[in-house]
Amino acid sequence: MIKLTSKTDTELNLELKLSGEEWNNYVNMAYESTKNKFNVAGFRKGKVPRNIIEKTYGANIFYDEAINKVLGKEYGDYLTKNKDINPYNNPEVEVKEIGESGFVANLKTILAPTCTLGAYKGLNIKAKANTVKAEEIEEALKAEQNKLARFEKTNEASKIGDIVNINFEGFVNSVAFEGGKAENFDLELGSKQFIDGFEEQLVGLKEGENKDVKVKFPAEYHAENLANKDAIFKCKVNEVKAKIVPELNDKFASDVSEFNTLDEYKKDLKEKILKEKNHHSQHDLEDEIVDKIVEGSKYTIAKEVLEDETHHHIHDVEDRISRETGLDVDTYCKYARIDKEKFYADRKLEAEKVLKMRMALGEIIKAEKFNVEKTDIINALKEHNENLTDEAAEKYFAKLDADRQNMLANDAMMHKLLHFLTEQNVAK
């Protein structure tokens, strides 16, 4: 028999009582399901009587398995009868009494988190209207020019964009420091490859000239012995190579694109820049809508649930840092000058936000009775690759394994949901 002793939004406490006869039945079931595991001299395997096994291995030898069977039946039946209860995990069992007289235990179950949706329609959020400025097109053209740039040796003074080949050695308090020396080093002025102020001081120098470059290392510099220190780099310019970029004309346009004129190429660049801006704005808009929905909803989340979510989130972040940088979190925080406690506190906030977002969006999917059809998946695939036909997308999907198909189905659901939320919440 199971009796409710207390219940909160996040925790369920039950008392489970069995008579001696009921408990013995479960112990006997445990014996029947595990008797093949025991070897006792004089008996064939699987034929050893229960009392002999208990005498040989101890009277409580079957208790753990019996408790599992009790929970499977008694606790399982309780959940079946009380469908409003949604456990997050298996119950924590505190045995109060066990033996011939019966079985008594307290069961503590953490309840799954819940979300009560706030408003998720009619939020009246304003979409951003994007435009493309002439300077942005010029910047894009300059980037294409730089891709085709060549460098030629010159006797002229160096300028931003040129490459200077230099020898240098760095000193702090007149003492050379490790890693501060190089010869025949090619440095593109303006590339910000070196610390602030270094490259600018080499502008205006010619081949064979020397310069003491005075800089200050930033406070967050990765080498602690140099952080926030004043330094002098003794530099010699071995060679200056001027940057030669192609002229902006129709020939340039035909060289870098499928267009015959510069005007046509500029028009295409404008369309691409606008498309990219609209793409980013759409993502920002979706994020704003989802944030508003999450903020306006109410949640019940047990601390144990949040701890699990935080643990998984931190593990993912640590794994990503390791893959991308080859560093553990301690070393990463040290080099990045990040307080480790704050780093983990921020990850906890992120984990809570992601959990709430997942819950709120899941409730919307249920409320709107969304489901994913194959056409939704095909459309999602075509969204990522505009050149795909319906037939090609279907063939591609059919070749994927079940896990990948499920991932695409989830992507399609999210795509469908975000499209719905945009339609419902953008100011007309």
Please state the pTM of the whole predicted model.
0.79
| Confidence check: pLDDT of 381 > 90 | no
pLDDT tens per residue, range 134-147? 999 999 999 999 99
| Confidence check: pLDDT of 190 > 80 | yes
pLDDT tens per residue, range 230-277? 999 999 999 999 999 999 999 999 999 999 999 999 999 999 999 999
All domains in the chain, ordered by first residue: 2-112 (3.30.70.1050), 150-244 (3.10.50.40), 262-425 (1.10.3120)
What string of H, E and C letters represents the secondary structure of the chain?
CEEEEEECCCEEEEEEEEEHHHHHHHHHHHHHHHHHHCCCCCCCCCCCCHHHHHHHHCCCCCHHHHHHHHHHHHHHHHHHHCCCCCECCCCEEEEEEEECCEEEEEEEEEECCEEECCCCCCCCECCCCCCCCHHHHHHHHHHHHHHCCEEEEECCCCCCCCEEEEEEEEEECCEEEEEEEEEEEEEECCCCCCCCCCHHHHCCCCCCCEEEEEEECCCCCCCCCCCCCEEEEEEEEEEEEEEECCCCCHHHHHHHCCCCCHHHHHHHHHHHHHHHHHHHHHHHHHHHHHHHHHHHCEEECCHHHHHHHHHHHHHHHHHHHHHHHCCCHHHHHHHCCCCHHHHHHHHHHHHHHHHHHHHHHHHHHHHCCCCCCHHHHHHHHHHHCCCCCHHHHHHHHHHCCHHHHHHHHHHHHHHHHHHHHHHHHECC
The whole-number average pLDDT for the span 57-64 is 92
